[in-house]
Each structure stands twice: as C-alpha cells, then as structure tokens.
Amino acid sequence: MITVYIDVLFMVNFMINILIVEGTGVILAADTKYARSLLAALTGAVYAALVFFIKAEFAQSVVMKLLLSAVMVLIAFGFKGRVHFLKMWGSFFVVSFIFGGSLFALMSATGLGSSLGMIYSNGEIYLNLPWKWVLLSASGTYFLIYVFGRIRKKRIATQSVSRTLTIYTNGTKTETTAIIDTGNSLFDPITGAPVIVCERGELETIVPQGEALMEKMCEAGLKVRLIPFSSIGKADGLMPAFLPDMVKIDGREAKGCLIGVTESRLCKENEYHALLNPAMLVK
C-alpha cells in the first residue's frame, strides 16, 4: 500500500498547474505577471490536494472543475472582455489536455508510473516522488517557466499593435503613439541602453524648435548622446538622443532607455510617431 504525502501531492500538482498556465500564456501571447500565474497555480494545487481525499460528488463534478479552471484563468490573466476570457479559457483546456494526456501516456508507456507509485484519484495525479526528485523537478519547472516567459514576451513584443508612449523630462511630459519595430536594433554603445526613435515634432515640449537640433537639445538641458545607426541611403550616421527622467509604455514604466530624435516622418499615414526597441519588452 502506497502512502500518499499531501505535501508531495501539492507540489506535483502545483508544478503541473504553473506549466499549464504559462503554456496558455505562450499560445495566445497573453501578458501576465508571474505573481498572478503562481497564485493561479496555487489555487489549483490546493483544490487538487483537497479533492484527492474528498469523496464528495460535487467536488469531483465537471461543473466544479469548470468553475475552478475559470477561476484560475481569471486569476492568471484577468478579465478583459468576454471574448478574451473565452479564448484564454479554451486555450487553458487545450494545454491541460495535451500536458495531462502526454504525462499520463509517458508514465504508462515507460513504466515510470508504476516505479514512481503513480495514483490517479478523483481526476488528480499523485507521484510518490522523494523530496530530492521534487526539488529537481521544481528546478526543471522553473527553467521551463523562464523559457515560456521569454517566448511569451517576445511574441508580445513583436506584435504590431500601437502603444501609448509617455516621456517625462525636466518637469514636462509628452505623449504619442508608438509601435514595436523589429527593425529598431539601436542601443547606446556605451551603456547598452535600448533606444526609442521618436519624431522631433512630437517632442515640442521637450526639444525646442530650430535648425540646429543638437544645439537646441543642449540648450534645453538634456543629457545628450550620439547613437550610431545605419539606414537606407545612409550607411553610417549619428542620431542625437537624450536620457529621459522616465518613460512609460501603456502606463507601465520602462527603465533604462534613451529617446532618439529624428527629423523624418516615421509613418506617412501618421498612425504612429515613435519606434520602440523590442528588447525593452523582452527583459
């Protein structure tokens, strides 16, 4: 007879849940904080630990499992409309079925299930893992979460959707529309800070109008840098840039970046006026 340890049961299901939540985020490139993902996984793990021993029909019912999955999705990704929720909920089920089915098939086909004392009760899986294997599995889970997080953030960063860019400098601020541009690979060669390219016309409250751009930027008391760049028709150029006091993208602070100033119009249709460096959103 196998003794079931509730702490091991909890940890196994917690690791499975966090991978399912992160996998769901990767599929739909959903932006979420790790704290929310961990809380959602924690909720599912607590339920798994309880329902494994509880024989009540309601606790094992399809309705209860649907309700639990809905709560986990809301915790992890929030509610951003009915369509968004249904997409996240559906993807959560797909990832759950794929991950759970693959794990069950692997354990059964290789005989690992028997050697690890796998028990399937009330829809929950228990593996009789020694704590050293639990810790090793946790390390592997952490690595996969990191990989999933990088993939998700990269997908979010490369989506061509407009963002609200707010620049604060010397007690003034300006707001404009920006997009993530995969072609913007500008970095400060000294500090390695990513560069946001912005039209000069959008910076009237920060950069005074006039012919000599560099001179006007220095007169405004800006911390000016020169950023090497290449473009069509100009193999080697220098773009004036300045260090802002603070930058926000869609209301979230983006630290350690420079604002490169261009005299050129970035979009003929005026749909956006700044180009974000994708590296800023993949950190």
For the cut 60, the answer to whether the pLDDT of residue 126 exceeds it is: no
Q: Which residue has the higher pLDDT, 283 or 265?
A: 265
What would the pLDDT profile of 153-163 be if each residue is shown by its tens digit? 666 655 556 78
For 14, residues 6+ apart whose C-beta sits below 8 A from its C-beta are: 41, 42, 44, 45
The helices-and-strands tally (H runs, E runs) of the chain is 8, 11
Instruction: Give, in order, the Cα–Cα distances in Å from 250 to each of 166, 178, 181.
Output: 8, 10, 16
Is a pLDDT exceeding 90 seen at residue 279? Answer: no
pLDDT in tens, 35-44: 888 899 899 8
Segment 245-274 shows an average pLDDT of 87
CA atoms of 86 and 97, how far apart (whole Å): 17
Average pLDDT of the residues in 121-142? 60
Mean pLDDT across 247-268: 88
258-262/195-199 β-pairing: parallel
At residue 176, the pLDDT reads 92
What is the residue whose two structure tokens read 């809301």?
74
Residue 31: the pLDDT is: 65
Among 24-28, 33-37, 145-149, 192-196, the range scoring the smallest mean pLDDT is 145-149
Residue 197 clears pLDDT 90, i.e. is over it: yes
Question: Given a cut of 60, is residue 233 above it in pLDDT?
Answer: no
- Predicted TM-score of the model (pTM): 0.49
Is the per-residue pLDDT at 168 higher than 90?
A: yes
Q: How far apart are the C-alpha atoms of 55 and 211, rounded to whole Å?
A: 79
